[in-house]
Structure 1
């Protein structure tokens, strides 16, 4: 059944007391339970549904959409752990099963884990797999250094935060380059800093090079204009700068230098003022 694990547009063949049967591409049918119907449908109507298997391993169609389709990644929370595996919340009534054999490492209830939805060909069921390295794409030729990307924060290590880029590529934001609060599951705008020989990418949360300082200068100027004063100077400690602006001291000094040369700010001992 090629519809399994995907969003499909299927027409209604017939109605039963339990719901309606939809036409599959292989000439078979799949039931959509009555609770997913509005009540005014008729034979021949077309519905957009997600097809998976119910608790008795029977194919079923629902109008709900999971957080990830077949062969897609998503961060999922562990709802329960059993001796044979774990069950993940993926947005549907029936949780996604994560077998012990497909775990990258042991999980606990409440954990958020990067998971890809796969088809277990032995059972013809959809399962979760957290051994994400097996599915990460290695050809990073579509990217270039300095490029802006959307990144999903999915893990924290001693080096920093691991992120998923464009759905299938791995990146790392180094701990000492994080100047804002980051949470697992958060999607952030990032910039590719370096493409390494192993085809993984180092990324940062601020634009690369001159653009970074221009955007930072605009941000600082807007902050000063809000109150007419910012209690920071080039002598301020890095933690204070990070708390107020979410940027490094190096970036801060470059930015206020630009603003000062353009006579857009005045720097005094107590902080930054408008001219």
Structure 2
């Protein structure tokens, strides 16, 4: 049977001037579908099998192509927006006819020229469409374990939870709000550390190193900030977490660890309402 949205081997049923018509070798569909002449391999004969992808053309007819799309049915991939309309957007997925992303399947406003993580599905009208609602589409059976370094794409940010990440653009991951530091937004690609693998297989992630490693980086960062601020920072143990995050983009806990090290090593001293650099 011919399967929409998938790469498959189909048999050449007949040759015509406009191309060859294909169908399944076994369990044939009622209608043969066209592979346009410009894509037909040389010396193709009736009975040959050709690997093709099946989608719908601009007139909504099933058609075959030997081109490989950037996404297949049931997969998730980063695709570029090439057009915006009132009813949705169109994405470049490597085929002649662009892929439709309906407005009600967008989780954030999209812009031409930017890439977005989408899932390929068949809508109620039996057409291939893209959706940005990928949370339930990402499996949680990743091969990763605690402390592994991973790469992924941020596909959702919730102020009360953190940033949702598609690890390898495939698996479920979350950077909790307490670990989410830096100027990151929707669609950004990140590198992270696996903090925990949950019982259901989903990954808890952090953008920061383990505490003892991160402390060195944080201490160096605070020293640089001090040097750029005439040796004074108006932050100390009594500063609020919000003030620390706004000025240094780190948690209060990380800040206290770092200034503790700098104090112990004699790089800083406490002054009224802040810390001061000691020249060594």
Q: Is the alpha carbon distance of 1:126 and 1:251 closer, same or farther for their aligned partners in structure 2, counting shifts above 3 Å? A: same
Q: How far is the alpha carbon of 1:266 from its aligned partner?
A: 3.4
Cα pair 2:121 2:128 within 8 Å, conserved: yes
Contact 1:116 1:132 in 2 (8 A): yes
Give the match for residue 226 of structure 2.
224
Query: In 2, distance between residues paired with 1:208 and 1:258?
Result: 16
* Equivalent residue for 2:255, pick from 239, 249, 252: 252
Contact 1:172 1:201 in 2 (8 A): yes
Is contact 2:194–2:205 with CA below 8 Å preserved after alignment?
Answer: yes
The 1:226–1:131 alpha-carbon spacing in structure 2 relative to 1, beyond 3 Å, is closer
Distance 2:108 2:216 in 1: 45
The aligned counterpart of 1:166 is: 168
Report what 2:189 is aligned to: 187
Q: Aligned-pair distance for 1:251? A: 0.4
- Residues 5 and 69 of structure 1 are in contact (CA less than 8 Å); yes or no, is this contact kept in structure 2? no
Q: Output the aligned Cα RMSD.
A: 4.2
Q: Which runs of 5+ in 2 are unaligned?
A: 8-36
Q: Distance in 2 between matches of 1:247 and 1:159?
A: 17
What is the alpha-carbon distance in structure 2 between the residues aligned to residue 195 and residue 248 of structure 1? 23
**Paired residues for 1:196-211 under 5 Å:** 196-211=198-213
Q: TM-score w.r.t. structure 2 length? A: 0.63
Instruction: Decide whether the 8 Å contact of 2:51 with 2:66 is kept in 1.
Output: no
Map 1:1-275; keep pairs closer than 5 Å.
Answer: 21=39, 23=41, 54-56=57-59, 58-59=63-64, 68-70=70-72, 71-74=75-78, 79-80=84-85, 82=87, 86-90=88-92, 94-98=97-101, 106-107=105-106, 110-111=109-110, 114-117=117-120, 127-130=129-132, 132-133=134-135, 135-140=137-142, 142-157=143-158, 158-231=160-233, 232-269=235-272, 270-275=274-279
